[in-house]
């Protein structure tokens, strides 16, 4: 099973969203979140408005979509 099929791209996020909040939102779909990444701007260190959520299984990723 490829990790890419478990990874979800999430766009349009406000810069106030934290990794913990994003994790809680996706766990509310009934799945287990393996990893959350919120890239930050190198200069301002603020989130860039998108992120990645990796679910534990492909089925959980599909359900979260």
Task: Note the pTM of the prediction, 2 decimals.
Answer: 0.87
pLDDT at 11 over 80: yes
Instruction: Give pLDDT, residue 54.
Output: 97
Q: For residue range 14-51, list pLDDT tens digits in order.
A: 989 999 999 999 999 889 999 999 999 999 998 899 99
Instruction: Give pLDDT, residue 15.
Output: 87
Instruction: Give pLDDT, residue 3.
Output: 64
**What is the full DSSP assignment across the chain?**
--GGGGEEEEE---TT--HHHHHHHHHTTT--EEEEE--B-TTT--B-SEEEEEESSHHHHHHH-
Side-chain-side CA neighbours of 29 within 13 Å: the count stands at 18
Q: What is the CA radius of gyration of the chain?
A: 12
């Amino acid at each position: 099973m490829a990790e890419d099929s478990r990874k979800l791209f999430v766009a349009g996020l406000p810069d106030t969203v934290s990794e913990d909040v994003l994790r809680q939102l996706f766990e509310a779909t009934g799945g287990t979140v393996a990893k959350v990444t919120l890239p930050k701007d190198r200069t301002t260190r603020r989130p860039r408005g998108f992120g990645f959520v990796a679910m534990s299984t492909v089925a959980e990723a599909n359900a979260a979509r």
